[in-house]
Amino acid sequence: MRFFKLFTLLAFISLSQFINAQMVETTKPYIQVNGMAEKEIIPNEIFLWIRIADKETKKGVDILENKMKKELRKIGIDLKHLVVQNAYSSLNQGFWSDKIETTRSYELKLSTAEKTTKVLKILKNIGIPSAGISRTYHSDMEKIKMDVKIEAIKNAKTKAYTLMSAIDEKIGKPIRVIEVDYYGSPGYMQYRAKGYASEAAMAESMPALEFKKIKIQYKVEVRFEIP
């Protein structure tokens, strides 16, 4: 029983000290500022979807796949970046005979808009109309995000220092840091084709593709102590 009372008393004292510390902290003078930073980068990973289907072409899927691989090698593309994502066959029942139709989907990873344009033109020329760009990314995205975060908090410190210097005061250590906002815009093509066949169907007449830059933006809220 004595142990329980002692434990209760110690817990009460600890809680009181914590509450008092919080009250002291909130009454300390401080300056609160926002810091923001952004960076625009050109995507270096472009993912192309490709679909070859018997019902969309007079040639067989295997024939077109081999032709596609041959042409990709010619322009220096490593086939390890070409991945089969889906493949299936279906039975098409006709009046005179039944026919098995095959469909195969691929993803091809490329590094530049120039190479993407070349690939789309190749696909068009060999008779593969169904292809387009599914997404873009940058290989150093996580590092770039962290660099932008660091720049944002540095900007907050510079802003606080400048404001306090105007009234001959200094800033102390940061006592609160909150990541307020993040914005990341994907890189989209400036050229956009219409219709199901997407870019590949119009590749022969289109200009070289260009990509909008990916914008990374961070905003932080920092509270600095005024000593």
Would you list the DSSP string of 42-66?
---EEEEEEEEEGGG-SS-HHHHHH
* Distance between CA atoms of residues 181 and 139, nearest Å: 23
Per the CB < 8 A criterion, the answer to whether 130 and 56 are in contact is yes
Q: How many CB atoms lie under 10 A from the CB of residue 46? A: 23
- The answer, yes or no, to whether residue 55 has pLDDT greater than 90, is no
Name, in order, each residue with C-beta under 8 angstroms of 49's C-beta and a sequence gap of 6 or more.
Answer: 85, 105, 106, 107, 131, 132, 133, 134
Q: What percent of the chain has a predicted confidence (pLDDT) above 90?
A: 51
For residues 27-31, average pLDDT: 86
Q: Please, what are the domains in the chain?
A: 42-139+189-206 (3.30.70.120)
Q: What is the pLDDT of residue 195?
A: 32
Query: Which carries the bigger pLDDT value, residue 192 or residue 123?
Result: 123
- The answer, yes or no, to whether residue 91 has pLDDT greater than 60, is no
Q: What is the pLDDT of residue 188?
A: 45
- The answer, yes or no, to whether residue 131 has pLDDT greater than 50, is yes
pLDDT tens, 155-184? 999 999 999 999 999 999 999 999 887 766
For residues 2-9, average pLDDT: 44
* Distance between CA atoms of residues 116 and 160, nearest Å: 46
pLDDT tens, 205-215? 556 677 778 88
Name, in order, each residue with C-beta under 8 angstroms of 103's C-beta and a sequence gap of 6 or more.
Answer: 51, 52, 53, 54, 55, 61, 86, 87, 88, 89, 90
pTM of the full predicted structure? 0.68
Single-letter amino acid code for the residue at 101: E
Q: What is the pLDDT of residue 40?
A: 92
Would you list the DSSP string of 10-45?
HHHHHHHHHHHHHHHHHHS-EEEEEEEEEEEE---E
Residues 51, 53, 59, CA angle at the centre, nearest 5°? Answer: 120
Query: Which carries the bigger pLDDT value, residue 180 or residue 131?
Result: 131
